[in-house]
Structure 1
Amino acid sequence: MVMPSLCQAAFTVLRQVEPVIVLEQLGSTLFDTALQMVVRDRCANATYPGLSREDGQQKAMTDFFMTYNLIIRLVPILPALLLARLSDRGRRKAPIVVPLSGYLLSRVALLLVVIVRLPVEVMFGAAVLFGLSGGFCAYWPGVMTLASLGSTATDRSKVMMRVELLYGTAGLVGSLVSGHLFLLYSSSLGNGIILLIVSILLHLLCLILSIFLLQVKQVSDKEPDETGHTLSHTSDNADVVEAPAGINLVNVVLLFMAAILYNSAVGGAMEILGIFVMKAPLSWSATQVGYGNAAGCMIFITSFIGVILFRRCVSDVMLILIGMMSFASGIYFMSFVTTTSMFYLVRLLTLFALIPMPTIRSLLSQQVPASSCGTTLTSLQLALKFAGLAYIPAFTKIYQGTLDWFPGFVFMLSSIFTVLGMIPISVVGCRSPQRRQYERI
């Protein structure tokens, strides 16, 4: 009796979206560390007139990642829109299964680069394949859509943050072991082979689960309506009342503005941070890079705890502002980091930095009908990708231009963008109480 019940419970768990999230993130964190270290090794001998050897390596690395990240942001735009349309027409698994195929192919490409000693520029072609599959631009909205449609409006922020928690916990585990796995040798092929093989196997298992076992679950039409009715009359903490019959265009625009500004600040800073820690005076090794990535993934856990602690006493808008202030203060002091211990102390200030984006998505999903939820969340992801086409080259060139006198200037700039992103969120907060008061009257 015990074994059949355990098997049934395990089968039920495997049909949820959570195992897919965990396996994908474990594989991706291993790949990220591998790519970072491979690019560093290939750029070690890069030389530029007027630059020292270390500054030349930094310039070559930033140029590579600028091009690579621009490709994976630009190419997925049309495929992600098509997958979102398929999702809203009933094929909810399409935005998850198709991108996972692209993930797998890009990981195999990096393995070939390491084994066959191909030029690292081959990864630009891998990035194109990854983008044509929809990439993260299609995958993450697909995951969030399943989580959103499978929850009520009152629990949606918590459910989405729980997804982020699993994502971050898996990233934490993967990051902690990635540096050690990278240093393991496979015969005479060198470092990184075992790391990439494990990453590929994880992505393959993830793809199999998503194709054959993943279940699409959706709450009934009556449940959200009843929840929305209850919220409009009894909840003092809800920022907006769910409006399944139409779109609250003003709030949607404001939320898009806040998300773009905040994502630009975070994305621009994180784009540089992984390269910043490899130069003097930090000069991190592969193991330290893994630990640093793990510190970033810890923020997923602390942000989830913050949501659980604060959501009962503050509104969603205030949750977003707390998260933005946390990141703004932390990334500002990152400008002056000169030792590894200082780096981790500054990371403590960003404990709640991941609260804003899932909470913004939660608010956004309450401004549109369920039939448009997938398209709206994907449109937000596409807007963030378009913003990346501007902030990635901007932050890269600013960092290259300030290497000699103030390498941390880009982090100070990121803090300013975060503060600007707090303005439209504050406007949403000012609009919401007026709407609740009007409905009570």
Structure 2
Amino acid sequence: MTSLWTALRRVELVVVLQQLASALFDTALQMVVKERCTASATTAPITEESRQKAMSDFYMTYNLLAKLTPILPAILLAKLGDRGWRKAPIIAPLAGYVMSRLVLLLLVLQGWPLEVMCLGVVLHGLSGGFCSFWAGVMTLVSLGSTERNRSRLMMRVELMYGVAGLVGSLASGHLFQLYEATVGQGTVLVSISLMLYLVCIVHSVFLLRVSVYEAVESEALLDGGCEVAAAAAGGSNLVNIALLLAGGILYDVAVAGAMEILVTFQMKEPLNWSATQVGYGNAAGFLVFLTSFLGVVFMSRCLSDVSLIMTGMVSFASGIYFMAFVTETYMFYLARSLTLFALIPMPTIRSLLSQQVRGSSYGITLTSLQLACKVASLAYTPAYTKMYQYTLDRLPGLVFILSSVMAVLAIIPISVVGCRSPQRSCHRRAEEEKEERRPL
């Protein structure tokens, strides 16, 4: 009973509920955007090109607002979290999620124009957005773990996030079509998403426990021979921090830029997916969380954190390159299968970043990575969108080739970090020495 109560108070439950709600919302938004962009063209001949341009323009504006508005609120919430209010970076964004999802629900029920969703995303952003929420989650994981198992614990949280997204995506396409004739498509789906977010807030306020592993600093001092650990004990390693940020930003540009266009690409001929197919496609993306977690569990026995990061980057680069030439649904899933380890790099980069600074700076350091990615998106989101529109008839997958190149470039700063650090972690060497000293 005690173990069950402890599990109920962990941050993983918040992540699961939040992602279930988010997966339902994503499918609902994707289908509503498709329907509204098709309906808006009723005064003129409806062409695939006009619909694709309308959808991509909407997502460009929507994504830019989602990434621009959280910048200042996320910084303030991160500082508030580092001063002891660790739940604030989690609870505030959840309140923003509720407001933005309520806007979509009203849009479906009242028939409001699609542009109203921009108000919803601004409300979400002003509450800190996903960058504040995820940085707050990872801060709690960092505080409650040792450097030895931090990468694995972060990847476990990513796994829970992915499994929840997988389940939510599989169900979302079917839920979207419920009560089509009475209250409109998507009403039930968005309502369930909204209720799950409300449960998240209640759990975070009353049940979520903030645990701090007090031996983090002393453990770093004991392992003084390791450069990464020594950085946490004696101050920030600015060179490693800069390299990790550079690699993280480049990789995020590659992944996020491609995923933003993929949402529109799925609605284009020859794919032209239905709501059910969209849900299955999103589920395939979330399945990567499971394969990435298994990759960390098994490959971490023989590979360093830096090697794990580069393995994940190569996996994504190969899969997204193949995506550029997808013309059939089965080819889409083949391309997805190549990205088996694509989710390994970012949580591992966050783990290495947290090892470069003291525990009192975890929140602002991890939030800085999230915000740097948001700032970068102000350039790549419109660039990817316009490139996709210009090459829509000739090679719409050109943006995916660009993402593949960006992922390969991200390997360079990460490999430099690997050259500056020991090939094996201090803990792993210590464990091997213990095994050698153990009598037969």
Q: Name the CA distance, whole Å, in 1 between partners of 2:40 and 2:400.
A: 25
User: Cα distance, 1:154 vs. partner?
Assistant: 0.2
Shift of 1:243: 1.9
Of residues 74, 86, 92, the one that matches 2:68 is 74
Q: Aligned residue for 1:318? A: 307
Any idea what the Cα deviations from partners look like across 1:106-136, whole Å, max 9, x if unmatched? 1111000000001111110111110110010
In structure 2, what is the Cα distance between the partners aligned to 1:169 and 1:240?
A: 32
Number of aligned residue pairs: give it. Answer: 427
- The separation in 2 between residues aligned to 1:380 and 1:371, in whole angstroms, is 16
Hey, what's the Cα distance between the residues in 2 that align with 1:435 and 1:350? Answer: 26
- In 2, the alpha carbon distance for the partners of 1:311 and 1:229 equals 23
Deviations 1:135-158 (A, max 9, x none): 101100000000010000000000
Please name the residue that 1:201 is paired with: 195
Q: Deviations over 1:25-83 (max 9, x none)?
A: 00000000000000000001445999961110000000001001100100000000000
Q: Which residue of 2 aligns with 1:228?
A: 220
Q: Conserved in 2, the CA contact under 8 Å of 1:281 and 1:338?
A: yes
SS at match of 1:244: helix
Tell me the equivalent position of 1:379.
Answer: 368
Of the three residues 3, 24, 39, the one matched with 1:30 is: 24
Q: Distance in 2 between matches of 1:111 and 1:373?
A: 36
C-alpha separation in 1, matches of 2:43 and 2:252? 34
Task: Note the alpha carbon deviations across 1:260-280, whole angstroms, 9 max, x for none.
Answer: 100000011000111101111
TM-score for both structures, normalised by structure 2:
0.93
Match of 2:295 among 289, 306, 309: 306
- Structure 1 residues 339-391: Cα deviation after superposition (integer angstroms, max 9, x where no partner): 00111011110000000000000000000111111100001110010011111
Which amino acid counterpart does residue 172 of structure 2 have in structure 1?
A: S
**1 CA distance for matches of 2:414 and 2:219?**
24
Does the 8 Å CA contact 1:244/1:366 hold for their aligned counterparts? no
Matches within 5 A, 1:33-432: 33-47=27-41, 53-185=47-179, 188-220=182-214, 223-229=215-221, 231-233=223-225, 241-432=230-421
Structure 1 residue runs of 5 or longer lacking an equivalent are: none
Is this contact kept in 1: 2:228–2:355, CA < 8 A? no
Cα deviation, residue 244, structure 1:
2.9
CA contact (8 A) 1:252 1:364 kept: yes
Q: CA deviation at 1:228?
A: 2.4
Instruction: Answer yes or no: is the 8 Å Cα contact 2:78–2:367 preserved in 1.
Output: yes
**Within 2, Cα distance between the matches of 1:105 and 1:196?**
12
Q: Distance in 2 between matches of 1:435 and 1:305?
A: 20
2:69, 2:126 within 8 Å by CA — same for their partners in 1? yes
Q: Report the alpha carbon displacement of residue 283 of structure 1 after superposing the two structures with TM.
A: 1.0
Q: Is the alpha carbon distance of 1:411 and 1:50 closer, same or farther for their aligned partners in structure 2, counting shifts above 3 Å? A: farther
SS for the counterpart of 2:421 is helix
Please give the alpha-carbon distance, in whole angstroms, between the structure 1 residues aligned to 2:408 and 2:43. 38
> What SS class does the counterpart of residue 44 from structure 1 fall into?
helix
Q: 2:438 matched to which residue of 1?
A: none
- For 2:77 and 2:46, the matched residues in 1 are separated by 46
- Mean alpha-carbon deviation: is it higher for 20-29 or for 46-55? 46-55
CA RMSD of aligned residues (A): 2.1
The sequence identity of aligned pairs, in percent, is 61
Q: Aligned partners of 1:326, 1:26: CA distance in 2, in Å?
A: 26
Contact 1:46 1:56 in 2 (8 A): no
| CA–CA separation in structure 1 for the residues paired with 2:324 and 2:13 | 37
Q: Secondary structure at the match of 1:169?
A: helix
Partner SS, residue 216 of structure 1: coil
Secondary structure at the aligned position of 2:232 is classed as coil
**Contact 1:88–1:372, Cα closer than 8 Å, also in 2:** yes
Check 1:355–1:239 CA distance in 2 against 1; reply closer, same or farther (3 A cut).
Answer: farther
TM-score (normalised: structure 1): 0.93
